[in-house]
Amino acid sequence: MDKVLLLTLVLVVFISPVRSSTSGLKVSTAQLLGFDWKNCGSPDAPAVLKTLNLSPDPVFIPGDIQASASGSTSVELAAPLAVNVTLEKEVAGFWVRIPCVEELGSCHYEDACDLLTQLVPLGQDCPEPLRTYGLPCRCPFKAGSYSLPLSDFSLPIMELPSWLTNGNYRVRGVLGMQDKELGCLTVSLSLRSY
């Protein structure tokens, strides 16, 4: 994934980090069996994700996906909003950590709010479908509930390193503010490119 897509997916999901998994498929230690997500942080985290759905499985690049999510946050999410991402790829039955190269991979983002403002500058409308559903795309994210109904997204042709194109992946993201962990999310998915 290019860094804009990866960051956008991580941050949309982290509008409210997770509380419970709704996927029927589970991840074993060495083999991915399908899309899955789960909470990897404290059960009393200030922000919680209640649902997250993604199809098709695997995700094809380029291609179309459908996604929905819902959650809430009991605290305002404002700058500086740190995100620590760990990206792993399954290689020969083992999970291998992908290092941070050009802000892609296992990276620490000191202020995701600043990155969001770079993606969608102040004065510019939020992209669809966020605009249609009245969802914010920049900080601060006020305390409250958020819901993205099932929506269509198109994944464009992306120039990816060959080692990042096809395979099973695990992404772990930890959201924090002022040295306090607000939530932790693990997402597992398969990517396929044409």
Burial label for 111, CB within 10 Å (0-12, 13-18, 19+), is middle
Report the C-alpha gap between 183 and 17 in whole angstroms.
Answer: 5
CA–CA separation, 71 and 78 (whole Å)? 17
Domains of the chain, earliest start first:
3-90+109-193 (2.70.220.10)
CB 96 within 8 A of CB 89: yes
What stretch of H or E contains 161?
none
Q: DSSP characters for 172-188?
A: EEEEEETTEEEEEEEEE
Query: Which DSSP string corresponds to 84-147?
Result: EEEEEEEETTEEEEEB-BTTBSB-EES-HHHHHHHHS-TTSPPPTTTTTTT---SS-B-SEEEE
Amino acid residing at 133: Y
Per-residue pLDDT of the chain (194 residues; tens, 9 = 90+): 344 444 444 444 443 332 233 333 333 333 334 899 987 878 899 987 889 999 999 999 899 999 999 988 999 999 999 999 999 999 999 999 999 988 888 999 999 999 999 999 999 999 999 999 999 999 999 999 999 999 999 988 877 666 667 899 999 999 999 889 998 999 999 998 87
Token code pair at residue 17: 């980090």
Q: Could you give the CA distance from residue 46 to residue 16 in angstroms, rounded to a whole number?
A: 9
